[in-house]
Structure 1
Amino acid sequence: MTLICREQDGFIVMVKQHDHGRLAGELAAWFKEEQVPESVRRDEVLWAIANHDRGWIDLDETPFWNDAEDAPYSFIDFPVVPKLTFYRRGLNEIEAVTAYGALLCSLHFERLIEVSGEENPELAEYQKDEAERRARIHRELEQRNVPIGEDELFYDARLLQFCDDLSLYMVLNRPGSPKSEEHPWWTDGFSGSEDFRFTSGRTITAEWKDESALMLEPFPFTREVEAVFKLRRVSRQEIKDRGIARAYRETPEEECRIRLTGRLEEKSADA
């Protein structure tokens, strides 16, 4: 399992990757309309964002314990070779539904690999195969008279990156936590968000108002959004007593609800 995990008060809070992905898709659907280019591929983009982590669906049913870290394997430290297998699997499933969506998600995974700085022969082979996939999709769409514009692809890639990051932010940070305890990935805000026109070059930042509300500035949505996702709080003592697989299986799912809002002055200016 490559769950998204964080520690909290003797528990490991775990969220399935595909659940996080579906949340990203819901966020994308509420993104400011004036920022969304008119495109025949709009529905494909939203579907691809919601399904970008679907390759992990089966694997996320049973967690694996990482002895070196004394924690479950997560999407961060999962071994690279099997990770690439599930990347490919997910991309193949996405391409069966939308070729453009597969191109978009392939670029997204390529960015994640570049950021990680990992290098090995299997990774180089994966990157070669994915470059060929993307080139083929470009050719096929051109032959069908639906070529891809550079601005369109750049925007859609930024939309996927931001919604993925914001969804991860809500999963990896304890609701209501102060900025001093914020996950280090977003200390300076959401990278790439400064490219959206409505930000005027500013980076979107997040700050918890309380345990149920997260303030975003500049605010990126057409209205306040209620983000909902499922999680499990698995006790470390239960893991020690029963093992990770059984402890996870016997821990009931909880529903987490977070209201995404802007600052009062920002909302007043938009009124």
Structure 2
Amino acid sequence: MVIVRPHQAPSGESLLFLIPQSVHAALSGDLASHWGNGGFLPLVHPEVVWPAIFHHDDGWIPTDNAPPIDPETKRPVSFLDSPPADSHAIWTKSIQGAARISPFAQYLIAEHFMMLREQSHSADSEAGRTFLSKYDELCESWRDRWEERHPACHEEDVQRAIRQLRFFDWFSLWLCLADRTEPHTFEETPQDVPLTITPQEEGVFVTEPWPWTVQDVHVAVGGWLVPDRNYDDTDDLLREMNDWRRLHWRFVPK
């Protein structure tokens, strides 16, 4: 499942911009780079938290490369409409893959997905309860293994690390889901310091307060432009996935 973003060509033709979930997660990591200024604390244990942010959606890579088609709507399935069982399987791959980073990375990514499930309408379904129960137990073991090696990682740091992953995930999604033309204030930041993003000319955002340690930040994502039409199946869509484009954003201080 990909991020499905409506797009209109200069000719007026309606298109879909399909952004892979793994690319969105890499954007999360790019936004987290050089973070820690203007009231915003740096990443907790960046040697672990940064790659956890960057790779938290690696489990989506197979479906990113072959997006499924909804049999009823005949459209590419957005990650927002992913059936719980499918999401659980994909999230599990992401959590398992994070083992190459650290038990703490597994803990953070699992906690992130557990929160997503807890806040969804399927939290009380059998699949939801099974997923939450399984990872609630595993999270404890991963955190215990981490703290055996890092006893100085206090509860406040752990919670801040979780909030950092969640914030950069949402920051990236906010950019990817639509063309932003109005000012927006992120209220739920890692330190609950409001962050206001104000669009200027195309792709440029004035940012207040300035949260990065560099003078400006330039990030981008790639995705496929495809016709906005009905598709018979994934193979039908894959035949149209040959126009790879990039979206660019530049953040500057006020």
Same topology, TM > 0.5: yes
Paired residue secondary structure (1:66): coil
- Pair 1:140 & 2:140 matched: no
Change (3 A) 1:228 1:115: same
Aligned-pair CA distance for 1:231? 1.5
Which residues in structure 2 correspond to 1:79-228 (within 5 Å)? Answer: 79-118=83-122, 119-146=124-151, 148-174=153-179, 177-179=180-182, 189-193=185-189, 195-196=191-192, 199=193, 203-222=194-213, 223-228=215-220
Residue matched to 2:3:
4
Aligned-pair CA distance for 1:237? 4.9
Which residues in structure 2 correspond to 1:13-32 (within 5 Å)? Answer: 13-32=17-36
Change (3 A) 1:55 1:207: same
Paired residue secondary structure (2:97): helix
Would you say the 8 A contact 2:99–2:105 is kept in 1? yes
**For 1:169-219, what per-residue CA distance to the aligned partner results, in whole angstroms no more than 9, with x for missing partners?**
111122xx432xx9xxxx6x33421725xx3xxx22323212221223333
Would you say the 8 A contact 1:228–1:255 is kept in 2? yes
Bigger relative contact order, structure 1 or 2 (CA pairs below 8 A, ≥6 apart):
2
Would you say the 8 A contact 2:219–2:250 is kept in 1? yes
Aligned-pair CA distance for 1:36? 3.7
**For 1:86-143, what per-residue CA distance to the aligned partner results, in whole angstroms no more than 9, with x for missing partners?**
1011101102321111111111112211222323111111111110111111222333
Aligned residue type for 1:224: D
Aligned residue type for 1:106: A
Change (3 A) 1:211 1:110: same
For structure 2, list consecutive stretches of 5 or more residues without a partner in the other structure: 9-13
Would you say the 8 A contact 1:141–1:147 is kept in 2? no
How many pairs are equivalent?
Answer: 245
CA distance in 1, matches of 2:177, 2:43: 33
Would you say the 8 A contact 2:74–2:231 is kept in 1? no
The more displaced of 124-133 and 229-238 is 229-238
Would you say the 8 A contact 1:205–1:216 is kept in 2? yes
CA distance in 2, matches of 1:133, 1:243: 40
- Point out 4+ residue stretches in structure 1 off by more than 6 angstroms: none
Aligned-pair CA distance for 1:145? 4.9
CA distance in 1, matches of 2:70, 2:109: 28
Aligned residue type for 1:228: A
Select the structure that is richer in helix: 1
Paired residue secondary structure (1:71): coil
Paired residue secondary structure (1:19): helix
Would you say the 8 A contact 1:238–1:247 is kept in 2? no
**For 1:36-86, what per-residue CA distance to the aligned partner results, in whole angstroms no more than 9, with x for missing partners?**
4586x3211111000000111122101111244453111100111011011
Aligned residue type for 1:260: F
Q: Please point out which of 245, 252, 261 is paired with 2:238.
A: 245
TM-score, normalised to structure 1, is 0.81
CA distance in 2, matches of 1:237, 1:72: 10
Residue matched to 1:267:
none
Would you say the 8 A contact 2:59–2:90 is kept in 1? yes
Aligned-pair CA distance for 1:236? 2.0
Change (3 A) 1:49 1:194: closer
- Identical aligned residues as a percent: 21
CA distance in 2, matches of 1:227, 1:145: 32
